Structure 1
Amino acid sequence: MLFHYHVWTPHVEETEKFYASLGFQVTQRIGKKDGEFESFDPPLDWDDFREQSIQFRIIEMKRGATNITFGYGKKVMFDHIGFLISKEEKVNVLERAEEIGLTVQSNVRRTFIHTPYGFRIELQEHLDAVQSRSENRVLQLSVETKRKGLEEMLQRLFGRPVSEIIVSESNHSRLTHVNLVSDRALRVNDPNGVQVTQIIEG
């Protein structure tokens, strides 16, 4: 199940406020202050630390079956997408990744597959990565890449057509559109230029 995307952005506070306005809840903030990483999780809010020159490594926000993370970058940059999968499916995907020749990076919490298309793929088997398995899920993501072959690679990697990812060619590798299931229809751009469309399903 496609559940996640991550971007680097100079608009950290604005991005959090944008997604909060759509009903997402902050579940984690980790930032570097005076050379050390610290947690600034809720109930802290921006009025508590805005003036402290914190460089946020990650802010995590959840709503239903959707998990969004972002951190500070000098420019907007798409980093990765994430799939919530079973342990058995993860084993199969990693075997296919090895056959394809993709680099895999793992730790106890998550696994990343490095692709030649300008972004990584996260494999996540921990169900606490989301609040729900069905409500407010990611319906589709649209990405632009500078290379051909992403759709074929995804199909080979997951053993099925990955219709949740819409691919187009461009001079840049970037995330352009996100379609989310919601109880409120909406179409608006986030602070990083990603068009977020909320669709009422039913």
Structure 2
Amino acid sequence: MLFHYHFWTPYLEETEKFYEDNGFYISQRIGKYQGKFQSFNPPLIWDDFRNKNILFRIIEVKKGNGNITFGYGKKIMFDHIGFLVSKEEHDKICDNARVLSWKAEISDRRTFIKTPYEFDIELQTHSDVVDLDDNTGKLEKITIMIKSEGLEKDLTELFGKEVQSVQSVIGEKVTIKEAIIKGFLTMNTVDPNGVNVFNCV
């Protein structure tokens, strides 16, 4: 199940507010402050730390089946998408990645597969990253802008089946062009990082 995407962005507060305004909640904020990583989770709000020199590594917002993360970057840069899979699916996908000559960085918490399309694929086996009992927030489909053709074919080989939740268009940069999210509160809008977000009721 597609559940996740991640951006690096200079627009952290704006991105957080955008998704919070559309029904997501802030589950964590982790940033480097005075030389060490610390949490700035709710109930803290931006007024509590906005003027501190914090380098945010990750801010996570959740809604049902959806989990979106972002961290500080000097410019907007799409980093990866994530799929929630079983342990058996994980191992088979990693085997298929080797057949494709795609590198897999495997750890106990999550696995990242390096694609030739300038973004990564996260495999997550821990179901606590989403609320499986709540179907709202589900990423029904995303459209990724890439520079070369072949993504859908390669994803079919990687997952051993057609991945209907991801499609591609050709463009000059790599980013998420569109996301269809179940239960998103706004019908048609654009997030601070240029993602066109549509509601799927």
TM-score, normalised by the number of residues in structure 1: 0.96
Task: Return the offset for 1:174.
Answer: 0.8
Q: Aligned with 1:68: secondary structure?
A: strand
Matched, 1:43 2:43: yes
Structure 1 residue aligned with 2:179: 178
Amino acid aligned to 1:189: V
Q: Aligned with 1:52: secondary structure?
A: coil
CA displacement 1:72-114 (0-9 Å, x = unmatched): 0011000000000001111110110011110111222110000
Q: Distance in 2 between matches of 1:183 and 1:152?
A: 29
Q: Aligned with 1:50: secondary structure?
A: coil
Structure 1 residue aligned with 2:5: 5
Q: Aligned with 1:118: secondary structure?
A: coil
Report which stretch shifted further, 3-12 or 35-44: 35-44
- Equivalent positions of 1:89-104 (< 5 A) are 89-104=89-104
Structure 2 residue aligned with 1:190: 191
Q: Distance in 2 between matches of 1:30 and 1:87?
A: 28
Report which stretch shifted further, 59-68 or 101-110: 101-110
Q: Percent identity?
A: 48
- Tell me: CA distance 1:191–1:185, structure 2 relative to 1, closer, same or farther (3 Å): closer
Amino acid aligned to 2:120: R
Q: Aligned with 1:15: secondary structure?
A: helix
Task: Return the offset for 1:134.
Answer: 5.0
Amino acid aligned to 1:31: G
- Equivalent positions of 1:131-142 (< 5 A) are 131-136=131-136, 137-142=138-143
Q: How many residues align?
A: 200
Q: Distance in 2 between matches of 1:134 and 1:21?
A: 18
Q: Distance in 2 between matches of 1:195 and 1:113?
A: 25
RMSD of aligned alpha carbons: 1.1
Residue ranges of structure 2 left out of the alignment (5+ in a row)? none
Q: Distance in 2 between matches of 1:129 and 1:181?
A: 17
- Tell me: CA distance 1:135–1:104, structure 2 relative to 1, closer, same or farther (3 Å): same
Task: Return the offset for 1:184.
Answer: 4.3
Structure 2 residue aligned with 1:19: 19
- Deviating 4+ runs (over 4 angstroms): none
Task: Return the offset for 1:35.
Answer: 2.3
Structure 2 residue aligned with 1:78: 78
Structure 2 residue aligned with 1:169: 170
Q: Distance in 2 between matches of 1:59 and 1:43?
A: 14
Task: Return the offset for 1:118.
Answer: 1.1
Residue pair 1:185, 1:199 contacting (<8 A) in 2 also: no
Q: Aligned with 1:117: secondary structure?
A: coil
Task: Return the offset for 1:186.
Answer: 1.0
Structure 2 residue aligned with 1:145: 146
Residue pair 2:184, 2:198 contacting (<8 A) in 1 also: no
Residue ranges of structure 1 left out of the alignment (5+ in a row)? none
Task: Return the offset for 1:132.
Answer: 2.4
TM-score, normalised by the number of residues in structure 2: 0.96
Residue pair 2:23, 2:184 contacting (<8 A) in 1 also: no
